[in-house]
Structure 1
């Protein structure tokens, strides 16, 4: 796979698909972790500002007897990481350590397709305060 940035992804924008394997026997703990994120959604969303996270989606998949968590993120490259001084981030990290095997498998993005109103909103949020926000070309859709 090519590591070249697709033309459809503006400079400064990071588009990721990451996969982590759930530890054998930790499926119930994964249930609790995802329930905690859903139950504390307002706290989670409040962290997205400093992370420059425009989109964050978590998927879960059981395949060939193993269970995986997939993270889809679209964010500005200058966003902050998790801040364990915040209770939700601390609880999130602790749950991750209990549930997932260390490390991530990263997919290589190929194309980012966003209709213009969504593209404008994503770029305004993720790249705010950077030159790329104004200079980002519209998608050819």
Structure 2
């Protein structure tokens, strides 16, 4: 995130919208990836603590003969990266290599709107022990 972060995004909080293009012909692989994440949801959620991930949402958009995956995340900046030593993270990384073009396109956040109780929960989770 840029240094000129919107005032609505507290220091230490990272808000991202990332887009990756699914490789041509890898639509079925993207289906398998998303099915794996859903089938192993408990394992995925268990990784969120060390990542300081308060919110992680994946969207898929098929439009104009292109297929994209979008990741929406809200996390603490001191969260850990995926750990290839953990089976779910290793499988997630390998599935990404088979499915998406390398790299991400990042959108620039403009405003974060959270009602008080949700804001308190998100910041308490993502920014604890700073």
TM-score in terms of structure 1 length: 0.90
Q: CA deviation at 1:54?
A: 0.1
Unaligned runs of 5+ in 2: none
Matched residue SS, 1:69: strand
Q: Give SS of 2:109's match.
A: coil
Instruction: Give the deviation of 1:4 after TM superposition.
Output: 1.7
Q: Shift of the alpha carbon at 1:63? A: 1.5
Partner in structure 2 of residue 106 of structure 1: 106
What CA deviation, in whole Å up to 9, does each residue of 1:32-71 have, x standing for no partner? 0000000000000000000000000000001211000000
| C-alpha spacing 1:127/1:3, structure 2 compared with 1 (3 Å) | closer
Partner in structure 2 of residue 54 of structure 1: 54
Supply the RMSD in Å over aligned alpha carbons. 0.9
**How do 1:29-108 residues align onto structure 2 when only pairs under 5 Å count?**
29-108=29-108
Q: Report if the CA contact (8 A) 1:21-1:67 is conserved.
A: yes
Alpha-carbon distance in 2 for matches of 1:43, 1:30: 19
Deviation at 1:3, TM superposition (A): 6.0
Q: Which runs of 4+ in 1 moved over 3 A?
A: none
Work out the CA distance in 1 between the residues paired with 2:52 and 2:23: 30
Once residues 114 and 42 of structure 2 are traced to their aligned partners in structure 1, the CA distance between those partners, rounded to angstroms, is 25
Is the CA contact (8 Å cut-off) linking 1:3 and 1:108 kept in structure 2?
Answer: no
Q: Distance in 1 between matches of 2:55 and 2:71?
A: 10
State the alpha-carbon separation in 2 of the partners of residues 3 and 64 from structure 1. Answer: 35
Q: Please say if 1:23 is aligned against 2:17.
A: no
Local SS of the residue matching 1:16: strand
Q: Give, in whole Å, the separation in 2 of the partners of 1:71 and 1:3.
A: 22
